[in-house]
Structure formats: C-alpha cells, structure tokens
Structure 1
Amino acid sequence: MNDPGIDGPINDAADDLENNAYESIREQVAEEEHEFLDHTRWYLASTISPLIAGTFGPLANAFSICALVVKWRLYVPPGQDETTGVFLKDPAWLIAINTVSLVCALVANMSLLLNMARRLSFNIAQPITIVGFFVASTLLIALVCVASSSHFRLQPAASHALSQAYYYAIIAAALYAVITMLMVLTAYGAWKKRYAKFKLTVSQRTLMLQTISFAVYLLLGGLIFSKIEGWNFLDGVYWADYTCLTVGLGSDFPPKTHLGRSLLFPYAFGGIVILGLVIGSIRSLILERAKAKIDARMTEIGREKVLEKIDDHKRVVTLGLWQKIEFVHSGLSELERREQEFNMMRRIQSVMQKRRQYMTLLLSVLAACILWFGGATVFYATEGTPQGWTYFTALYFSYTSLLTIGYGDYFPNSNSGKPFFVVWSLLAVPTLTILISNMGDTVVKSFADFTIWLGSLSVLPDESGIRATVKSNLAKVRQSNLLKRDASLPNKNQSNTAEKPEDNDIPKDPKSHLDSVALNRLAKHIEDEELWEAEEAGERGDALDRDIHFYHFVLAREIRRLMRDAAAAPPVRYPYAEWAYYLRLLGQDEADPKRHRKPPVKPHRGGGGGGSLRHRNTTTASDHRPDLGVAGGAPQEGGGGGSSYSWSWLGTRSPLMGSKTEAQWILERMSATLEAELRKMRAKGYSRETRERPPVSMEDLLRGKRA
C-alpha cells in the first residue's frame, strides 16, 4: 500500500494560496488546528503549571517570612512545654542564609509575575524564576537539615525545642521545590515549541493577585492582633488563618481585649470577602477552562480509539466496554456518509464528556480523602504525644475542620501542628471547591433530576395527569436507548434534531438543489424588504449579480443570528441539518465528495477491506500520528465561498474537535467569508466576466420550491 503522506497536499495547497482570496482563512484554520492539538496535550505545562506557581509562590514567600522573622530555637523550662518556651538567639549565619533564600524567592516570584503581565520576556524571566526558586529551596533545605541536628538545639535536648518558624521553613522549602519542577516543565514545553510560551488570561492573573492579597492579609492580621493581644507573631498568623477560613477552632487564642474584638468585625469580614473572591476565581477560571481542555483532550483520545477499533466485518465501532455503535458499511451517498461521521462524532463527545465528569469526580474525591486521611496522620503524629490524640480523634478533627464546622473541642497546640494546619487548611480551599463543583456536574445533578422526575409522578404531576406523565417518561427512556444503540446510523426519516428539533427532514439526494432546512432558511431571507439590491439586479436581467447580492445579504443576516448563539449559555449545539446549511454558505457542500476526506485508521486485526469509515491507503506508521484525519485524503480544490481544505467529521480539522464553541467556529468563518467576498469585489480585475456563482442563490431557491 502507498503512504499518502502530507507533503503533496501541503505543496499543492501552497501553490493555490498565492492568489487565493481565502488565504487568511486557511492560515487561521491551520493555526487553530496546531494550537488545539498541542495546547490540549500540553495544557498542564502551558497553563496549569505557571498558574499554580504564580498562586502558591506568594504563599511560599509568606511562609519564608514567617521562618525569618521568628527565632528557630526555644528553651523549655522544667515542667513546661514547647508552647511556653523562651526563644534563643539564632546564629548570624542562619539569619543570613535565610534572608538570601527569601530574597531569591521574591526575585523569582516577581520575575514570574512580570512575565505573566507581559512586562518581561519569557526567555529572560523563565531562567530567573527557575534559578531563584531552586536556590531558595536548596538553601532552606540545607538550613532545615542543619537545624534538625542535636548540636543546633543545644544540650540537653529535653530542655530545647524548635519553634514554629523551623516548620514554616520546611513548608516553604517544599513549595519552592514543587514550583521549580513546574517551571522546568513549562520551560521544556516552550523549548520543544509545543506552545508559544504560556498565555494566561487577565482573569487568571487576577487569581494570582487575589492570592497575594490573601497572603498579605493573613500576615498583617497576624502581626496586628499579636501586638494587640500579646501573642507570638506566628500564633497570630495561625489565628488569622482559622478565622478567615471560618473554621473557628475556639482555641486558646480568642481576642480578649476590647480593641481586638472591635477590629475582629472588619477583619473577619474582609477575610471572608477575599476568600470568596479566590474561591470564585478557582471555580470560574480554573474549573471551567480546565474542564473544556480535558473534554477536548478526551474527545481526541476517544476519536483515535474509535478509528483504531473500527470492525468492518461486524460493522461495529467500540467506544468502551458497554458502548458500541453500528455503522453502515456501504451503499451510502456522500451526504449520508458525512451524516454518519457527524453522528458518530457527537456520540464520542457525549461518551467522553460523561467519562470526564466521573473521572474528575473520582480524582477530586481521592484528593479530598488524601487531604483528610493524610492530614489526620500528620495531626496524630504532632498531637498524639503532647495531647494524647488517637488516630480517630485526629480523623474527627480533620473532618470537622475541612467542613469548617469547628466545634473547638480539639485543636493543634504543638509548634509543628500549627504551621501544618495553616498550609493544610489553605490546600483544602481549592480541593473542596473542585470536589463540590464536580459533584454538582454529576451526583447533585442526577439527584436533582431524580427529584424533579419523582415530583412529576407524585406531588407535581404534569398538566395532563400522572398517567400521561408516566407514558411520556417511558417514551423518553425508549428513545434514549434507541439513540444510544443506533446513534451513528443516518436516519432516513429525520435528521439529528436533538439540539434543535424544529429543523428536520433533510433530503439525502445529493442531486437536489437545496435541502429543506436551507430552503426554509433562505425563504425567510428572501421575504425581507432589505433585498432591494438583489431584486433591482434581477429586474435589470442580471441574475448573477442578483444572486451575489442575495448571497452577501444571507451571510450578513446569518452572522447576526450566530452572534446571539455565540453568547448563549450553555453553548448551542447544531444538528447535522444546520451544519450542512452553514457549510453550504461557506462553500463546502456536504454532498460534494471532492471537498471531503475519509478518516485514516490503524489496520484492525479482525477487519476486512476499506469501509465507509476506513481509509483504504492507510497502512504505514506515518499515518498513525495523533493528527488523524489530516494526512492523505481527497485532493484540495478551490472555488466557492469559503476555504477549500478538505476534512472529515472524525478528523482533527472537524469543527467538533476545536476549542471554540460551534457558534464561534461558524461565526468566525462566516465573517471571514463575507470579508473575502467584499474584498474580492473591490479587487483589481474584478468584472462581470470574472464573477463566480455563489454557493446559494435565488435561482436555487426557486428551483427548490418548484421541486
């Protein structure tokens, strides 16, 4: 078998683009395809890694400050514990190294933020960020190792202990090390040219500024209230943390002075507001965008698996253990073949979206359990001996703290337990936010739907009565099962109208001038009084000029409609009939096989000859790259009112595979097509002889009505 490759089509396309009015559209499509394929695979490195670094970097700086401003060693008088110990002076070398570590981390964090704000180039900022965090982490790790020795704590060991500052240094060192690894991953992806450095939106950068504000708010609150109430500064930070997070442990640090209680009113309210902003940003900026990227990536994976598992002999495509789709092997028109691909891609989207929902729910539950049981393990280790906690007590305390119940009957009291509680409770904010959001997409939604269904059968029946409601629900279940079984088969009686049921009955005869959807939509336009230019041209006997004006008017009117759809929430999903209509307006007739390609697949060990979904020339490994659907296929041809590249609904150039919504995808190309049409009319050499017949015309409409 021959390898179709990609060099030939690319070279042919390059020759065609030299004098083509739609070159910008082609370049945009190629750029979007490359960005979609690489950015979804490298989303962790390009977006999540710098976002985590920019968010936790300021918190690590705050913990470094806690480790610097408070002495590390304590003298414990006889009969007392470490919480009442007397601070001992730190060696000068420890303060110096600690200061250098903090300065390096601050410079690294500032470099990262300037890069994200487009004030410093990536090539300059990234080395500074990586080296700065690496040096800060290394120095703190060295200090922690030295401080853990018995010589540093002086003798006798039983009379000396380490303060909270020592444990804050451990936390800061760990965070710096994690940030360094994330930044190395980001730099590696950029070095491999998988993305154009990293691009964070204004809203994502706002999340980092909110985190900085929250860290500063904690430190200032801890400083002010420690001075007012006579606490140790780090005890003040611990108090500010569980106050702003509304845990309310009821420990031995309640405000007792009149001034402290008075300042609590604005301070607690301000902390809750900032925390609410952070949670809202996490929910809207990280969760929604990450879900879209994960959906896109899983759809791509599902598409590749489908193409690998096509069984021509059984005419079955396997999507999962219980997910199988039948497809028609032969005897289909081009329009039916395309609709079959479209329906199969829709099914892949649906299956992968549900799979993503329950996968992310499982991961978020696992993360919450790790935070719960892992936190209980640490609290048992830190508070077991001083306070006599059992592991169950630690589990109980961790659970009530995670849910911000805060009975106050148990609370950490050791110098190691308090710093750990601060960082542990801060990690709980994004973890529980993600868990609640994922539960809302799955468990809560299912429970809400079940409640509504149960109410319709009992206390809140439909207007037609309980019996009619039961029959309607049973009919919906049967229809759902039927769609799951034969989702990819082209329906001879009606089109895929799950999203917009008013558009149906699309004819499958490729020779017909217009299908019913296009006929109805164009008829609405032609009745408009604004078509005076087209009608005037028709009265002059220039039918082609009339059709061109009509085509431009239709494009403008559809753009107005698409703008409304692009702003809709949830995003509009068009049935195949409407897609065929829009693609016709773009000059890509779904009934024209010259503009399409069949998706290449890997050879199936049980498969036979090439089917309607199998590319006959796909036999070598070069076609098995992730960009399935791009290599090989039908030749590219120009003409029509849009770009002339060929693609498959199951390929990477499929509109259902992009990162944009369907309305946005069509709107951008519709606008570019109208712009190209108008530019072509103003170009030199344009005349009556060089005019081209548009994809749709009033003549088509009239003949369609007569048919």
Structure 2
Amino acid sequence: MSRRLTFEIAQPITIIGFYLAGFLLMALVAVASSSVFRIQPMEEHALSQAFYYAIIAAGIYFIIASLMAFTAFGAYKGHYAREFRLTASQRTLMLQTIAFIVYLLVGALIFSYVENWMFLDAVFWANFTLLTIGFGGEFVPKTHTGRSLLIPYAIGGLVTVGLVIGSIRSLILEHGKQKMAARFMEVKRQKVLESIDGDTHTIRISIFEKVNFSSKGLTEAQRREQEFRIMRRVQTLSERKRRYTALALSTTAALLLWFLGALVFMYSEKPQGFTYFVALYYAYVSLLTIGYGDYVVQSNAGKAFMVFWSLLAVPTLTILISNMGDTVIKAFKDFTIWLGSLTVLPDEEGLSAALKVGWRRIKSGKIGEEERVGYHEGPTSPNEQRTDDRLAAYLEEEELGKAQEADEHGDYLERDIRFYHFVLAKEVRKLMKDVESSSSKQYEYHEWQYYLRLIGQDEDDASKHRQPKANTRHDDGEAPDIGSADDGKKLAWSWLGIRSPLMGNQSEPQWLLQRLAMKLESEMRKMSSPDEEVRKTKPPISMAELRKRKGSGKTSDDAHTLQVDVEASTVDRCAKKED
C-alpha cells in the first residue's frame, strides 16, 4: 500500500503472514481447549475471554488472507491492477479505525487500574460505553476518579465513533455506488435495446412503460433528443433499482447480524436461562443502543463475542440507515409534504392538482405508449435557439478586443478562432464550479447539445451518429470513448450506445470538463503549429453565424438568463459593425 515493495513481492508475504498467524492461533486454541491443559474438573472451570478472542482473531486472519489471495489471483488473471494504492478516503478510514481501537484499549487499561477490573472486563465496559449502549449492572465507575475520567473519555469516544461512521459512509457508499450503478445501467440499457419493436416503432423501457421512437418527420437533432431522453429514463430506472437493491442487501445483512448474533448469545448464556426469544430481545436492544440492562451477558464467551459483534454492527447499521435515507425515508418525506398539501398547507392549484401529482408519483412518471420523446416542431428547435443564445452571450466587446481587431482587418477566420478559444476557457471555468458544487449534477439535452458542439460533435450532423445496437459488449473492462463506434467506425456513436457520455463512471460535469480541457489544450497546440493549415482550422462556432441568427430574430425566451456576460446591445452593435 505504501509502494515500498512491488505487488508481486508484498502480496505473497502479506498473505502468508496472515495465514500463518491464523493457523498458529488455531493450533494454540486447540491445544488450550484439550484436557491436557484444562484445570480439572473441567465442568467447574471456564475458559477465559482471551481464549474466545483468540478464536475470533484466528477467523478474521483467515478471512483476510483468503480475500487477499482472491485479489492476487484476480490480478494475475488481469481482472485487477497489479498495484494497489490507497486513496485519501481509504487511508482516512484505516487511520480512524486504528485510532478508535487504540482509544478503546488505552481507556480500558486506565479504567482497569482505577476501578480494579480485569483488563478484558474493562474492554467489554469501554466497548458498550463508547457505542452508547450503556448496560450498567456490574461494570460501572464507582470511584470518584473513574467517574471524573468518564466525562472526557466518553466525549472523545463519541467523536471518534462519529468520524469512523462518516468515513464508512463516504467510502463504502459513495465508491461502491458508482460501480453498482454502472453495472445496473448497462444491464438495463441492454434490455431496452433488445425490446426495440421495428414494426410498431416502440421501445419498452419497463413493464408498464413503452415509448414511441419513430424518427419520421424529425430532424437529426430531434431524433437524437429522443435517444437522450430514453437514456435518461434508463438512468432513472436503473438508479432506482440500485437504491432498492442496496437497501435489500443492507437490510438482509442487518437481519443476519441480529438473528445469528442472538443464536450465539442463546448458546453462550444458557446458564442464565437465555431462550432464543430473550437473545433476540437482548440483541435488538443492543443494536439500537437502548441498553435497558435487564439482560447482560456474563459468560466469558458472551463478553468476547459481544465486543466483536457490536463493532461489526457499526458499519452494518451505518450502511443500512444511509440506504434507507435514499429510499424509505425520502419516500416518507415526500409523502408527508404531499399530505400537507392536501390538509394543513393546501397547494395553490387546489386539491385536484395535488391528487394528480400524487398519482403521477405513484406511477413513477409513466410515459404514454404513443408519446414521442424529445419531439419539437418547427425549423429551429428551442434547444438550437438556446445554444445560439448561450454563444451570443459571449460576444463581449472588452473581452474580445483581439477578435474585433482581426475582424477589422477582414481576417474572419482568425476572429472565429479567438472567439472559440475564449468560449472554451469560459466554459471550463463554469464546469469547474459545477464539479466542486455538485458532482451528481445532470444536464438537460440543450446543455449537452451546446457542449458537444464546442468539442466538435454537432448534434445536427448525422454523419457522426449511428443507430444503437443491443449486442455491444466489451471484454477489456474499459469504457471506450465517444470518438469511435461499437463496430470501429470512426466518430459514430449513439446516446443509447456503449460510448454514450451517460454510460461512463465519471459524473457529467467531470466528463464535460475533461473533454473541454482536452479540446482547449489541443487548440493551444494548433496555435503553435508550424503548419499554417493546422493553425487555420475552422472552429465549430462562428461569430458571423451567431450575428446572422441574432439579426433574424431566432432567439428563445431564455436569452436573458443565458446572456450573463454581456448585454444584448453589445451583440447588436457588433452586428451593425459587420454590416
């Protein structure tokens, strides 16, 4: 992990070390439990907590070694990278977990001397104290020194546990969510493409949802918008399935932790008369940190397992609660707001409108079978108008002095190149803000149309597009880029294809920022090229074209919101100057 040794050397050493430690502990445990080393009569003497901790440690060593061996085998087969570097979040979680364990053990050591407890009993006390279970009973501070030390010790423990929980959530949920979402979306995309009906020109997106995709009478941009909206729907449905699948898995893990933990407590606490129902009750009260104290484990086996089991419950319940926040809690919150719009906080549009909104949510945004997705009539679509308005907003006089100077000398190509570079730089800065503020932001089709035009992918150019295919699978494990098609044809791609920008592991702001930055870098290289033909390559946008559209009045109602850098009078003044 620190990269001081190569993967081929470090991994076998680590695997052998963990296996060796596990087998040695197993051997010691087996010998210690034999009649040779047990004090007679065996029925009147119990094995210590250390014995059961050794059993747990041996099992953990063996599991870790097996997982590392599986990873090494996968790397040997080429499924994983041969070098492993810890990310900042992984390193943070590792250090915080170590800090929590050290804090727990040092505190247990101090309180064992202050309260005259055995060390492992103090570990049991420190564990249920820091996790706020608080059983009470036999193990409570009874000295003034112990009660005084408890105040700072408990506060520090709560902070440490909170940091660990936050790191678990950010690492496991955020990083695991991306891989799981990509897999679910690819499976859903394949099913949607396989459901294309060429006779009726429909695509079945879900069991109750069918969309008309007929391209008759549509421009290329309108047909592409159909694909985009269908892909957006695929994203929505696959993300919903991912959330509820994650909830089901985390719920299953929590239930297994509860039921299996209760089973162990039932056997370990048989002398106390624990039935399975009592053990279920005890485990439930412990998991929810209620800690009534009416039932407390007293056997050495029960105390050791309680420490391990409660620590295992921290990540399990953290993931469960977080997954509930994305599904059940969110649905309950939306239902509460909707119910309020019907009762104490009525909506301005009336009761019928609120009921219609609720029904649409129940149907999950069902699209009619005959609904044509992304269709706009007229020679110039609103998306095209928005793109032109957004570009026209950059015709700022003081920012484009050099472009205007080239215009006066009649060098219109140089003017367009400088204008293109200026727009690229401005948009890169805006995308950086989007990446910092919200990595999960999703852009509308007209925004994608605008950005794709800047990188040279015009949505009106049918030669750069293709019809989606269902049999698009890749074995190299890497998502191909937008520049090539599934069959190797250059610059042909589909919104529903494997090379769609919506299919990658990157967020949309990250994807666009990377492509625009690469385009800007490429343009800077062109400027320093000795080949004049390369330097004079025509950019994908033109000031003359924008002025012409501005003069013809083909602008949308969104022009005022998009023209953030210049007033409309600047554009008009530039148009008059060119005329």
**TM class by smaller structure:** 0.7 to 0.9
Note if contact 2:212-2:373 (Cα within 8 Å) is conserved in structure 1.
Answer: no
Instruction: Find out whether 1:702 has 2:547 as its counterpart.
Output: yes
Alignment of 1:571-590 (within 5 A): 571-590=440-459
Structure 2 CA distance for partners of 1:487 and 1:431, relative to 1, 3 Å: farther
**Of residues 440, 464, 474 in structure 1, which corresponds to 2:356?**
474
TM-score, normalised via structure 1 length? 0.72
2:521 corresponds in structure 1 to: 675
Name 1:257's counterpart in structure 2.
Answer: 143
Cα distance in 2 for partners of 1:626, 1:537 equals 44
Q: Distance in 2 between matches of 1:146 and 1:482?
A: 65
Q: Determine which of 364, 375, 386 is the counterpart of 1:492.
A: 375
Q: Deviations over 1:519-577 (max 9, x none)?
A: 11112111453112111111111111111111111112222222222223363211111
**Separation (CA, whole Å) in 1 of partners of 2:487 and 2:381:** 23
**Alpha-carbon distance between aligned partners in 2 of 1:476 and 1:535, rounded to the nearest angstrom:** 55
SS of corresponding position for 1:408: coil
In the alignment, the residues of structure 2 paired with residue 222 and residue 322 of structure 1 have an alpha-carbon distance, to the nearest angstrom, of 59
Task: Report the CA distance shift for 1:375/1:478 in structure 2 as closer, same or farther (over 3 A).
Answer: closer
- 1:128 equivalent to 2:10? Answer no
Q: Does 1:646 align with 2:480?
A: no
Does the 8 Å CA contact 2:93/2:168 hold for their aligned counterparts? yes
2:532 is the alignment partner of 1:686: yes
Counterpart among 413, 430, 434 of residue 561 in structure 1: 430
Which residue of the partner structure matches residue 507 of structure 2? 661
What is residue 394 of structure 1 aligned with on the other side? 279
Q: Deviations over 1:145-175 (max 9, x none)?
A: 3333333324332233311111111100111
Aligned pair partner of 1:455 in 316, 320, 340? 340
Distance 2:258 2:364 in 1: 40
What is the SS of the residue equivalent to 1:152? coil
Provide the C-alpha distance between the structure 2 equivalents of 1:392 and 1:520, rounded to a whole number of angstroms.
Answer: 69
**Does the residue aligned with 1:567 lie in a helix, a strand or coil?**
helix
Residue 346 of structure 1 aligns to a residue whose secondary structure is helix
What's the counterpart of residue 391 of structure 2?
522
Residue 437 of structure 2 aligns to a residue whose secondary structure is: coil
1:286 matched residue in structure 2: 172
Q: CA deviation digits over 1:503-530, x for unaligned, max 9?
A: xx99369xxxx92122111121114531
SS at match of 1:525: coil
Tell me, what secondary structure is at the counterpart of 1:450? helix
Tell me, in whole angstroms, the C-alpha distance in 2 between the residues paired with 1:578 and 1:681. 28
Are 1:173 and 2:58 matched, yes or no?
A: yes
1:110-129 aligned at under 5 Å gives the runs 115=1, 117-129=2-14
Deviation, structure 1 residue 455: 1.6
Q: Take 1:406 and 1:646, find their aligned partners in 2: how far apart are those partners?
A: 63
Task: State the 1:224 CA deviation.
Answer: 1.7
Task: Assess if the C-alpha contact under 8 Å between 1:343 and 1:489 holds in 2.
Answer: no
Cα separation, partners in 2 of 1:288 and 1:661, compared to 1, 3 Å: same
Q: CA 1:671 to 1:371, structure 2 compared with 1: closer, same or farther past 3 Å? A: same
User: Partners of 2:325 and 2:24 in 1: how far apart?
Assistant: 44
Q: Deviations over 1:460-517 (max 9, x none)?
A: 234x3xx5364266268559876634698433338xxxxxxxxxx99369xxxx9212
Size of the aligned set, in residue pairs, is 548
SS at match of 2:246: helix
- Listed as ranges, the matches of 1:337-416 within 5 Å are 337-384=223-270, 386-416=271-301
Decide whether the 8 Å contact of 1:222 with 1:240 is kept in 2: yes
Q: Structure 2 length as normaliser, TM-score?
A: 0.88
Determine which of 380, 387, 395 is the counterpart of 1:507.
380
Aligned residue for 2:564? none
Shift of residue 343, structure 1, vs aligned partner: 1.4
Contact 1:601-1:624 at 8 Å conserved across structures: no
The question of whether the paired residues in 2 share the 8 Å contact of 1:537 and 1:543 is answered with: yes
Paired residue for 1:552? 421
Check conservation: 2:93, 2:167, Cα contact below 8 A. Answer: yes
Alpha-carbon separation, structure 2, partners of 1:230 and 1:651: 69
| CA distance in 2: counterparts of 1:310 and 1:599, whole angstroms | 10
Matching of residues 221-300 of structure 1 within 5 Å: 221-300=107-186
Q: Secondary structure at the match of 1:136?
A: helix
Amino acid at match of 2:179: K
Distance 2:475 2:26 in 1: 49
1:148 to 28, 33, 36: 33
CA distance in 2, matches of 1:176, 1:481: 47
Match of 2:565 in 1: none
> CA 1:375–1:335 in structure 2 vs 1: closer, same or farther (change >3 Å)?
same
Task: Name the SS of the counterpart of 2:299 in structure 1.
Answer: coil
Corresponding residue number in structure 1 for 2:70: 185
- The residue number in structure 2 matching 1:429 is 314
Q: Is the 8 A contact 1:303 1:348 kept in 2?
A: yes
Distance in 1 separating the partners of 2:149 and 2:328: 41
Given that residues 506 and 516 in structure 1 are in contact (C-alpha distance below 8 angstroms), is that contact kept between their aligned partners in structure 2?
no
Which letter does structure 2 place at the counterpart of 1:355? K
Percentage of identical aligned residues: 54
- Alignment-mate amino acid for residue 31 of structure 2: V
Which SS does the other structure have where 2:46 is aligned?
strand
1:317 partner SS: strand
Structure 2 residue aligned with 1:311, among 186, 192, 197? 197
* Match of residue 403 from structure 2: 534
Q: 1:330: how far off?
A: 5.6
Which deviates the most, 150-159 or 417-426?
A: 150-159
1:222 and 1:569 map into 2 onto residues whose CA distance is 43
Alpha-carbon distance, 1:336 to partner = 3.0
**Matched letter for residue 531 of structure 1:** L
User: 1:622-641 residue pairs with structure 2 within 5 A?
Assistant: 632-633=486-487, 635-636=489-490
Contact persistence 2:213–2:372 (CA under 8 A): yes
SS of structure 1 residue aligned to 2:509 = helix
Summarize the Cα distance change of 1:634–1:422 in structure 2 as closer, same or farther, 3 Å threshold. closer
Given that residues 563 and 667 in structure 1 are in contact (C-alpha distance below 8 angstroms), is that contact kept between their aligned partners in structure 2? yes
Gaps of 5+ in 1: 1-114, 495-504, 603-617, 637-644
Judging changes above 3 Å, is the alpha-carbon distance between structure 1 residues 634 and 539 closer, same or farther for their aligned structure 2 residues? farther
Query: How far apart are 1:353 and its partner, in Å?
Result: 0.6
Per the alignment, residue 188 of structure 2 pairs with: 302
Cα distance per residue 1:289-344 (max 9 Å; x no partner): 22222112211222223233333334343444444444226665432332222112
CA apart distance, 1:627: 6.6
CA positional deviation for 1:180: 1.1
Q: How far off is 1:190 after superposition?
A: 2.1
Give the whole-Å Cα distance in 2 for the aligned partners of 1:156 and 1:126. 46
The one-letter code sitting in structure 2 at the alignment partner of 1:449 is: D
1:487 and 1:156 map into 2 onto residues whose CA distance is 83
2:200 matches 1:327: no
Taking the aligned partners of 2:442 and 2:221, their CA distance within structure 1 comes to 20
Counterpart CA distance in 2 for 1:371 and 1:421 is: 12
Is 1:207 the equivalent of 2:93? Answer: yes
**8 Å CA contact retained: 1:507, 1:515:** yes
The answer as to whether partners of 2:452 and 2:458 remain within 8 angstroms in 1 is yes
1:133 Cα deviation after fit:
0.8
Partner of 1:605: none
Distance 1:483 1:493 in 2: 20
Counterpart check, 1:161 vs 2:9: no
Given that residues 457 and 470 in structure 1 are in contact (C-alpha distance below 8 angstroms), is that contact kept between their aligned partners in structure 2? Answer: no
Are the aligned partners of 1:623 and 1:631 in contact in 2 as well (CA < 8 Å)? no
The answer to whether the 8 A contact 2:439-2:509 is kept is: no
Q: Which has the higher contact order (CA 8 A, sep 6+)?
A: 1
The 1:491–1:306 alpha-carbon spacing in structure 2 relative to 1, beyond 3 Å, is closer
